[in-house]
Amino acid sequence: MKILVVCPRIPAKNKNGDQVLSYHRLCHLAKSHNVHILCFSFDGDNSDKRSLELLGIVVHQVPWRLIYAIWFSWKALFNDAIPFQCAFYTSISFQKLFSAVIRNFEPDILYSVTIRTIPNIIDFKEPLYVDLVDSMGLNFERRSNAAHGLKKFFFKIEAKRALSFERSLALKVKKSFLVSALDKEYIGLPNIVVLPLGIDFCNFFPNPQFTRDPVIVFSGNMFYSPNIEAVLWFIRWCWQAIKLNVPGVKLVIVGSNPAPSIKKLELDARIKVTGRVESMAKVLNSSQVAIAPMQSGSGMQFKVLEAMACSVPVVATTVGLGGIGAVPGRDILIGDTPEDFIRLVVKLLKDPIYRLSIAEAGCEYALKNNQWNVINKIFSFECDLL
């Protein structure tokens, strides 16, 4: 079967969440189907493009242009049916190439990753499947709850627009997907399939070659505001108390493009901001505790699942747990107040037997529930691609 995949960014196994999800989806689909991708091009895409082409996937790319983003975002000010997330990725060049690929490739189905490029999908007759990934409506609602001033006002507007767009889209397409039942509940429609994120267990696994030091690790794209907010919450409310209780403890913050507010945390000699690293698994396997103190965001956190896969116990907030079905107190620890978060992190750092029990249970949970091959077989079945 011929499948045309439309996405805002090129699928890649070591980048942002939607890119990782789409990469593993396409690795599975390319084994049995003729797959073409249409996406925007950005600096640093060349190696990811070659990786996809080695799988037999044909990649069509359009340069992302700021002028289009500005123009369509301006137009969206007067059209509340379009989320700014979509306006930002609307492109006349993308629309023209989409029409040309449809005409020349003649796909049997269309598969869109996220809602962002949906306005570019025009004049098609093929069935459309959409991976919403997570609810942008929920994402921006939670961001608005944590924001102030004009940012809070904008986030509220975007939350309302995104939710309306997601609901309308889910009713029109052949089938849509989310990674979290919580996000499905928020959108409020029964015809959405929930498929969790998977983990690459070839890269993320417990490695006894590394010594686990009293290190706390936080990982994620550090230009993404919910990640920045989570780290700053932890520093403000928890970090000093943990340092007092656990002499020698260190905090490692891993992720691409750290914001200035994150970089300056290195003024504390016990905090290291690494930026992007060659091996996230190596960092995890050298740590004793992983944290996900999320105050906003949506969907499911790769950072939590990757730590679990490496047998690193995780302390998260309820928002950080998200749609992961791990059992609090057994597979993962949940602390929504600073006092609870501090207590749980300190207990894990000081009690190796307790730390091991949570770590092993979390690892077992991830192995049982987050295998990409199992998840993608269900995806193929839902799309009638078996």
Q: What is the pLDDT along the chain (386 residues), one digit of tens a residue?
A: 999 999 999 999 989 899 999 999 999 999 999 999 999 999 989 999 999 999 999 999 999 999 999 999 999 999 999 999 999 999 999 999 999 999 999 999 999 999 999 999 998 899 999 999 999 999 999 999 988 999 999 999 999 999 999 999 999 999 999 999 999 999 999 989 999 999 999 999 999 888 889 999 999 999 999 999 999 999 999 999 999 999 999 999 999 999 999 999 999 999 999 999 999 999 999 999 999 999 999 999 999 999 999 999 999 999 999 999 999 999 999 999 999 999 999 999 999 999 999 999 999 999 999 999 999 999 999 999 97
Chain CA centroid to CA 202, Å: 19
Cα separation of 178 and 215, whole Å?
Answer: 33
Name every residue whose Cβ is closer than 8 Å to that of residue 374 and which is 6 or more positions away in sequence: 198
Joined together, the tokens standing for residue 140 give: 């921006």
pLDDT of residue 209: 85
pLDDT of residue 183: 97
Same fold, 2-198+371-382 and 215-369: yes
| Class for the domain spanning 2-198+371-382 | alpha beta
**Dihedral sign from CA coordinates of 340, 346, 351, 352:** positive
User: Beta strand pairing status for 34-41 and 333-334?
Assistant: unpaired
Cα separation of 187 and 196, whole Å?
Answer: 17
Query: What's the predicted TM-score (pTM) here?
Result: 0.94
pLDDT of residue 55: 96
Name every residue whose Cβ is closer than 8 Å to that of residue 91 and which is 6 or more positions away in sequence: 40, 62, 64, 65, 68, 72, 120
For the chain, what are the domain ranges?
Answer: 2-198+371-382, 215-369
pLDDT of residue 295: 96
The SS3 call for residue 41 is strand
The answer to whether the CB of 346 falls within 8 A of the CB of 242 is: yes
For the domain bounded by 215-369, which CATH number is listed? 3.40.50.2000
